Structure 1
Amino acid sequence: MKRAKRKFRRKISQFKKLKIGTRAVNLAMFIIGWVIVIALAWLYVVGFRTETIISDNAMSPTYEEEAVIRINRVIYKFSSPRRFDTVALQIGETSSNVYYVRRIVGLPGETVRIENGTIYIDDVELDYPYNEETIENAGAANRDILLDDNEYFVLCDNYNVRMDDSRSANIGVISSSQIIGRVN
């Protein structure tokens, strides 16, 4: 009988230890879960998003000069840019933290032309809701521009004041590798 009691007590103490161990494991898993959530949130904010300041009036009135913008650097790893997305671009030999902010107008495989102040995509007039004015200078887009598989045609929203976009021979069409991310 004493032996059975000792055995029973041993089982009870093992069970109690197991319960204490389970609570400790649950608490540890809870803490580890929160640490992972906080680390992922920090990585998203610091690593995948970039803040920068608009240094010109090229995107006025959408983004005024000296406005702080956020660039989502991850979005285009999972999806392709769409028409009218505002994107941050790296053009030419600029330093790594200098970006151009422009709006995507033409998509890969399309033909873009600006004629009589109007944008045409595949010979269809484009309704450009970000600037009601007609385009005064078509630049290189005064003739058909056929975009390759990874090329985009971008414009400034303030296109009659600035022309450092795809109409310019110095900039031209933009390859997908030049797109840093989408401006939010």
Structure 2
Amino acid sequence: MSQISVSEDNKGKQIFLFIRDLVICVLIAFLFITFVAQNAVVSGESMYPTLEDGQFLIVNKFIYHLSEPERGDIIVFDHTESNRTERYIKRIIGTPGDEIDFRDGYVYINGQQYVEDYIKVVTMPTDSSVTYPITVPANNYFVLGDNRNKSKDSRYNIVGTVEEDLILGKASIRIWPITKFGFVE
């Protein structure tokens, strides 16, 4: 039977290599989560039926470094209310310069009815302090939840339009539950 003997010098080298590799892995993970993608969990019913409470998503944080957010994108953004920051997930309806209005339960963008096949109920403005039509300011986006009756979104003064700097990324892939794995649309 043979024995392998590890010298003290070799143990020190192995420890150094282990620590080096660990630091590199942590750095790569940090950079990936900071600049490329991260996970998010859907909380609530505001995006039903597109997204359901408890689903896990991958958020593409890099895409908006290459292109501007577009109408129809489902985004994750930070919203601060009462000194507490939460992450919201909503669909972009209006882009900078768009005029948004609501008539007979439908959204109108720049005077044209916006067709939304994913909506199951009519859309109504909810905050009486907001006067329509409104024009989306530069570097801002008008967002709505797909489940309009259960969504706190740009129709409320407390949320308002979302500044581009607050957008964390685009919801890209649903990873849980596994039976619903796939791209988010």
**TM superposition score normalised by structure 2:** 0.70
Q: Secondary structure at the match of 1:100?
A: strand
After superposition, the Cα gap between the structure-2 partners of 1:72 and 1:44, relative to the gap in structure 1 and judged at 3 Å, is: farther
- What percentage of residue pairs aligned between the two structures are identical? 27
Greater Cα offset, 127-136 or 83-92: 127-136
Q: Measure how far apart 1:46 and its partner are.
A: 3.7
Greater per-residue helix proportion: 1
Asked if the contact 2:105–2:122 (Cα under 8 Å) also holds between the matched residues in 1, the reply is yes
Greater per-residue strand proportion: 2
Q: Does 1:153 align with 2:142?
A: yes
Q: Measure how far apart 1:179 and its partner are.
A: 0.7
Q: Give the paired residue count.
A: 145
- The whole-number CA distance in structure 1 between the counterparts of 2:111 and 2:124 is 19
Q: Measure how far apart 1:94 and its partner are.
A: 3.5
Q: Secondary structure at the match of 2:40?
A: strand
Q: Deviations over 1:86-121 (max 9, x none)?
A: 0001011444xx410000000111100112211000
Match of 1:86 among 74, 77, 85: 74
After superposition, the Cα gap between the structure-2 partners of 1:68 and 1:135, relative to the gap in structure 1 and judged at 3 Å, is: same
Q: Secondary structure at the match of 1:76?
A: helix
After superposition, the Cα gap between the structure-2 partners of 1:115 and 1:161, relative to the gap in structure 1 and judged at 3 Å, is: same
Asked if the contact 1:90–1:178 (Cα under 8 Å) also holds between the matched residues in 2, the reply is yes
Q: Measure how far apart 1:77 and its partner are.
A: 1.1
Greater Cα offset, 81-90 or 140-149: 140-149
Q: Secondary structure at the match of 1:81?
A: coil
Q: Measure how far apart 1:80 and its partner are.
A: 0.3
Q: Secondary structure at the match of 1:104?
A: strand
Consecutive unaligned residues in structure 1, runs of 5 or more: 1-37
**TM superposition score normalised by structure 1:** 0.70
Match of 1:99 among 80, 87, 103: 87
Asked if the contact 1:113–1:142 (Cα under 8 Å) also holds between the matched residues in 2, the reply is no
Match of 2:109 among 98, 107, 121: 121
Structure 2 residue aligned with 1:50: 38
4+ residue runs of structure 1 moved beyond 6 angstroms?
38-41
Superposed, 1:15-30 pairs within 5 Å as none
Greater Cα offset, 43-52 or 117-126: 43-52
Code of the residue aligned with 2:156 in structure 1: it is: S
Code of the residue aligned with 2:87 in structure 1: it is: Y
- The whole-number CA distance in structure 1 between the counterparts of 2:126 and 2:133 is 11
- The whole-number CA distance in structure 2 between the counterparts of 1:138 and 1:86 is 21
Code of the residue aligned with 2:109 in structure 1: it is: I
Asked if the contact 2:120–2:147 (Cα under 8 Å) also holds between the matched residues in 1, the reply is no
Q: Does 1:60 align with 2:48?
A: yes
- The whole-number CA distance in structure 2 between the counterparts of 1:155 and 1:130 is 12
Structure 2 residue aligned with 1:144: 133
After superposition, the Cα gap between the structure-2 partners of 1:144 and 1:122, relative to the gap in structure 1 and judged at 3 Å, is: same
Code of the residue aligned with 1:107 in structure 2: it is: T
Larger Rg: 1
- The whole-number CA distance in structure 2 between the counterparts of 1:75 and 1:43 is 18
